[in-house]
Structure 1
Amino acid sequence: MKKIGVVFGGTSAEYEVSLKSTAGVLRSLEELAYEVVMIGVTQKGEWLLYQESIDLIEADTWHLEASCVPLQLDVTGRGFFDLTRNCFIQVDVIFPVLHGGDGENGVLQGVFELMKIPFVGCGVTASAIGMNKMMLHQFAKSLGIKSTPSLLVHKGDVDNLEIQLFIETHGFPIFVKPNEAGSSKGITQATNKEELVTGITEAFLYDHQVILQKNVQGVEIGCSVLGNETLTIGACDQINLAQGFFDYEEKYQLITAEIQVPASIDFKTERQIKEQAEILYRGLGCRGLSRIDFFVTDTNEILLNEINTMPGFTSHSRFPMMMKEVGLDYTEIIQTLIELGVESYEHSLLALSE
Structure 2
Amino acid sequence: MEKIKLAVVFGGKSSEYLISLHSAASIIKNIPNDKFDVTLVGITEEGKWLYFPGNVEEIDNNSWFENPNCCEMILSPNATLKGFVKLNKDNTFETLTIDCVFPVLHGKNGEDGTIQGLCEIAGIPFVGCDTLSSAVCMDKEFTHIVCESAGIKTAPFMSVINEKTLDIKALYVDAVSKLSLPIFIKPANAGSSHGISKIRSYEEFEAGLKLGFKHDKKVILEKTIEGFEIGCAVLGNDEIQVGEVDEIEMYHDFFDYDEKYHSTTSKIHCPARISDDLKKEAKVMAAHIYKALRCSGMTRVDMFLTPNNEIILNEVNTIPGLTSVSRYPSMVRVGLGMGYTELIEELVNLAINR
TM-score normalized with structure 1 length: 0.94
Correspondence 1:248-259 to 2 at 5 A: 248-259=257-268
* Alpha carbons 2:235, 2:241 under 8 Å: kept: yes
User: Is structure 2 residue 343 aligned with structure 1 residue 333?
Assistant: yes
Query: 1:351 maps to what in 2?
Result: none
| Counterparts of 1:152 and 1:38, CA distance in 2 | 39
User: Is structure 2 residue 59 aligned with structure 1 residue 57?
Assistant: yes
Deviations 1:205-260 (A, max 9, x none): 11110111111110101011011122110010000011121111111011010011
Counterpart selection for 2:17 from 11, 15, 18: 15
**Deviation at residue 292 of structure 1 after TM alignment:** 0.5
Correspondence 1:194-205 to 2 at 5 A: 194-205=203-214
Letter in 2 for 1:159: I
* Alpha carbons 1:158, 1:200 under 8 Å: kept: no
**Deviation at residue 171 of structure 1 after TM alignment:** 2.6
Query: 1:350 maps to what in 2?
Result: none
**Deviation at residue 107 of structure 1 after TM alignment:** 1.1
User: Is structure 2 residue 49 aligned with structure 1 residue 47?
Assistant: yes
Counterpart selection for 1:26 from 25, 28, 42: 28
Correspondence 1:39-118 to 2 at 5 A: 39-76=41-78, 77-84=81-88, 85-118=92-125
* Alpha carbons 1:233, 1:274 under 8 Å: kept: yes
Counterpart selection for 2:306 from 297, 307, 325: 297
**Deviation at residue 268 of structure 1 after TM alignment:** 2.3
| Counterparts of 2:33 and 2:225, CA distance in 1 | 43
Correspondence 1:150-299 to 2 at 5 A: 150-156=157-163, 157=166, 159=168, 161-299=170-308
Deviates more, 1:329-338 or 1:266-275: 266-275
| Counterparts of 2:180 and 2:136, CA distance in 1 | 28
| Counterparts of 1:160 and 1:124, CA distance in 2 | 37
SS in 1 for 2:189: coil
**Unaligned stretches of 5+ residues in structure 1:** 345-354
Question: What is the alpha-carbon root mean square deviation over aligned residues?
Answer: 1.3
| Counterparts of 1:162 and 1:249, CA distance in 2 | 29
SS in 1 for 2:353: helix
Letter in 2 for 1:303: I
**Deviation at residue 324 of structure 1 after TM alignment:** 0.9
| Counterparts of 2:134 and 2:18, CA distance in 1 | 20
TM-score normalized with structure 2 length: 0.94
**Unaligned stretches of 5+ residues in structure 2:** none
Q: 1:185 to 1:128 in 2, by over 3 A?
A: same
